[in-house]
Chains A and B, each alone.
Chain A
C-alpha cells in the first residue's frame, strides 16, 4: 500500500487559523455568555439553559420571530417570480444586454445603509418624493413613520428593489446557458410558450434558482441595516425584525446572556431552514 503524504494538511492550517479567529472563537464567546449571568466587573455566574428557556418563552421573541418569517416569506414570494419574469424578458444578445446587466446590478452595488437612507428620504411624507406624490397628488394616506402597514409595505418594496436583481442575474445566467437547439426542438415539437417555460427554461434554471432562493432566504432572514435605517423597527414594534430586536437587547439593554442565547437560537433557525430548503429543492436530483 502506498503511504499518503500527510504534509498536505499543513496547507490547510492557515485557513483553519483564520476561520478560528473570525468565526469559531467569537462564536464560542457567545456560547460562553449564553450560559452565564453577569453584573459587570467581569464577574460571571452559571446560569445553565435558563436564558434559552426565557427567550423561547418570551412573547417579544416570538413576535419578532413571526415578523421575521412573514418578512422573508413576503420578499421570497415577490422576488423569485418577479426575478424569473424579468430574466425571461431580458434580451439574450445584442446591444441591450450589457445595458440591462449594468442597470440590474446597480441596486446591489449600493451600500445597505445608503439604501436605507435613500428610501427613508424618498418615502417621508411631505418631503420625500414618493411620500409627497402619494399623499398630496394621489390623495392616498401614506405615512411609514406612523402606520404599521405603510411601514411594512415600504420595507418590503425596498428589499424587492434592492435584491430582485440577484434573482434576475442568476436566472439570466441559467437562461443564456440553454443551447438554441432546445428552443428549435420545442418549435418543431409544437410546444406552447408555457410548455417551453415549464419543460425547458424552468428545469434549466433550477440549480441557479436553488442558489438564488437560498441566498435570498439567508440574507433576508438576517437583514438588519436597511430596515433599521428606514424605520428603526417602528412604528412601535411593528417592523422590529429579529436582528433589530437582538441588537436592542444586546447593545441597548446590555443583557449579554439573553442576547447570546437569542443569537444562538437565531443561528440555529437560519441553519435549519437553509438545510431544509436545500434538501427539499435538490431531492429530485438524487433520485
Chain B
C-alpha cells in the first residue's frame, strides 16, 4: 500500500516534441492518498490510458517523476513496482486452470506452496470463484474471466495499487452492476489504492471517492462526484458529467450579472478576469419553468423514465431543462428561470465566478 504522487509528469510519444500539442500528457501533478479509490475519467484519447501505463511502469514518462511513498519509481520495471493492472479485455492464461491462473504471480515470485494455497483460496472466496478453481480458465464467461484477471492482481499481499483500464468494456450490462459492486466491496476489504480508468461517468462516479477528469492530456478537475456535479471548474466537466450535460450558453458579463440573449441572469457571485470568450453555465436540473422569466419556445420533450428532458430555444440558442412532471408541450411558449446559486460564468472554458460567502 502506498501513496502515489505524480510530479510534473509529461509524456510525448514523439522522439522530440516541440509544442504542447505534441504531448499526450501535459504537466500532471497529482497526489493519491494511500488506500483511496480514484477514477480517471475522460473521453477516448484524452491520455488517461497513457497515464495509467506510466504509473504501472509499462511506459516511461518523457519528463517528471512517479513517487510511491516518496520512493522514486520512475525508472523501475512493472514487476518491481508491486502494482496490479486489470485490462480492458480479460487477460487469462488459457491453458491453466483458474487456480493456476491465480497462483501464477506468486509462483513467479518464488512464494512457497503453502502460502500460495492460502492466498489463492482467500482470493477465490472473495471473488466467489472457489467452486471453479480446478476448471480450465479458457471456458469461462467474460465476467468470470475479468474476475480472474482481477484476482491475479489482488493475490499478492504487497500490491501498492491496483489499476483498472476500462475493465467493464466487454461485460454484459446486467453483470456490470454486479462486478462494479464487487469491486467496491473488494476495495473495502483489501484497502489497496485503486485507480480506475473509464470514459463512463456512471462507473467513475459510483466507484471513486475522488474523480480526476481529463481532457486533451490535461487534468481539468479533481473532486468528489458531488463537487464535479455541483460546481464544475470547466465547461468540459460540466458537459461531460451529468445526463444531459450542463448548458453552456454564450453570454456577456456585466458586473455580477450575465446577459444572455438580451436577458439579465443573476449569478452565484461576482465574476473575475477579463476578456476572452464568456459562457453561462447552468445544469438542466436547475432550469425550471415559471410564470415569468426568460421566454423560450419548447422544441422537443423526451421522456426518459424518471423525468422529462425538455429542449427549448431562447432566441437562437438551444438549451435543455429537466422537468420532474408536467412537462410543457412541444411548440408551446414558456418562461425559464435559472437558479442563481447554480448559474456561473466561464471564461475561455474555465470558471470565472466566486461563490458568495467564500
Contacts and interface: CB of A to CB of B under 8 A. Distances in A.
Interface of A: 179, 181-182, 184-185, 187-192, 195, 199-200, 203-204, 287
Given A188-B83, A189-B152, A203 B94 contact: yes
A184 B93 contact: no
A36 to B, nearest CB: 53
A192 B79 CA distance: 11
B87 interface: yes
A190 B79 contact: yes
Chain A interface, DSSP helix/strand/loop, else mixed: helix
B78 interface: yes
B108 A195 contact: yes
**Shortest 7 CB-CB contacts between residues of A and residues of B:** A181-B87, A190-B108, A185-B91, A190-B79, A189-B105, A199-B93, A203-B94
Contacts of A191: 104, 108
Contacts of B152: 185, 189
Contacts of B83: 188
B175 interface: no
A182 B91 contact: yes
Given A195-B108, A199-B96, A188 B89 contact: no
B191 interface: no
A35 B79 CA distance: 70
A184 B85 contact: yes
A188 B78 CA distance: 5
Contact of A187 (B58, B95, B109, B153): B58
B149 A185 contact: yes
B39 interface: no
Nearest to B53: A184
Contacts of B104: 189, 191, 199
A287 B134 CA distance: 14
Contacts of A190: 79, 105, 108-109
A192 B152 CA distance: 16
B164 to A, nearest CB: 12
B136 A287 contact: yes
19 contacts: A179-B91, A181-B87, A182-B91, A184-B56, A184-B78, A185-B152, A187-B77, A188-B78, A188-B79, A188-B83, A188-B85, A190-B105, A191-B104, A191-B108, A192-B108, A199-B95, A203-B94, A204-B94, A287-B136
Contacts of A200: 93
A203 B91 CA distance: 13
B88 interface: yes
B145 to A, nearest CB: 12
Contacts of B95: 199, 203
A181 B91 contact: yes
A171 to B, nearest CB: 17
A89 B71 CA distance: 36
B84 interface: yes
Contacts of A182: 91
Contacts of A287: 136
Nearest to B88: A181
Contacts of A179: 89, 91
B165 to A, nearest CB: 8
A195 B286 CA distance: 58
A187 B79 CA distance: 6
A94 to B, nearest CB: 14
Interface string B181-198: 000000000000000000
Contacts of A189: 79, 104-105, 108, 152
- Of B84, B85, B96, most buried by chain A (CB within 10 Å of CB) is B85
Contacts of A187: 58, 77-79
A220 B105 CA distance: 42
Interface in B319-358: none
Nearest to B153: A188
- Of B104, B109, B136, B152, most buried by chain A (CB within 10 Å of CB) is B104
A185 B152 CA distance: 9
A193 to B, nearest CB: 12
A185 B108 contact: no
Interface in B128-174: 136, 149, 152-153
A111 to B, nearest CB: 40
Interface string B68-89: 0000000001110001110111
Given A185-B152, A195-B108, A200-B93, 17 more contacts: A179-B91, A181-B88, A181-B91, A182-B91, A184-B56, A187-B58, A187-B79, A188-B56, A188-B78, A188-B153, A189-B105, A189-B108, A189-B152, A190-B109, A192-B108, A199-B104, A203-B95
Nearest to A204: B94
Contacts of A181: 87-89, 91
B65 to A, nearest CB: 21
A200 B93 CA distance: 6
A85 B95 CA distance: 21
B148 to A, nearest CB: 11
Contacts of A199: 93, 95-96, 104
A104 to B, nearest CB: 27
Nearest to B81: A188
A230 to B, nearest CB: 41
A184 B136 contact: no
A184 B58 contact: yes
B78 to A, nearest CB: 5
Contacts of B108: 189-192, 195
Contacts of B58: 184, 187
A191 B79 CA distance: 9
A184 B83 CA distance: 12
Nearest to B87: A181
B87 A184 contact: yes
- Of A187, A188, A199, most buried by chain B (CB within 10 Å of CB) is A188
